Structure formats: structure tokens, C-alpha cells
Amino acid sequence: MRVAILGCGYVGLELGRQLTARGHEVRGVRRSDGGVRA
């Protein structure tokens, strides 16, 4: 499944990690560049 996470902060990052671990394709959007590496 393809998933877009808008507002990829602490909760969004964890959700993205869990979905990726289950084989989903995940894209996240952040408001600022801080924490992009995470």
C-alpha cells in the first residue's frame, strides 16, 4: 500500500517506521527541514 503522512513529526515518524517495516511504501511531509534525516 502507498501511504502519505502529512505532518511527519514524532508520531508520524513512528507510524512511517512501522508501516515501512510491514512492507508499505511511505512518503512523509514536514513543515521544516529540522529532523529530515530521521
Residues 6+ apart with CB under 8 A from 35: 9, 13
Residue 35's pLDDT is 66
Which pLDDT value is given to residue 34? 73
Domain count, the chain: 1
pLDDT value of position 38: 60
Buried b (16+ CB within 10 A) or exposed e, 14-29: eebeeeeeeeeebebe
C-alpha cell belonging to residue 23 = 512492507
Which residues form the domain of 21? 2-35
Query: For 1-38, what is each residue's pLDDT tens digit?
Result: 999 999 888 899 999 999 999 999 999 998 887 766 66
User: DSSP secondary-structure letter at 9?
Assistant: S
The whole-number pLDDT of residue 36 equals 66
CA-closest candidate to residue 1, choices 29, 23, 27, 28: 23
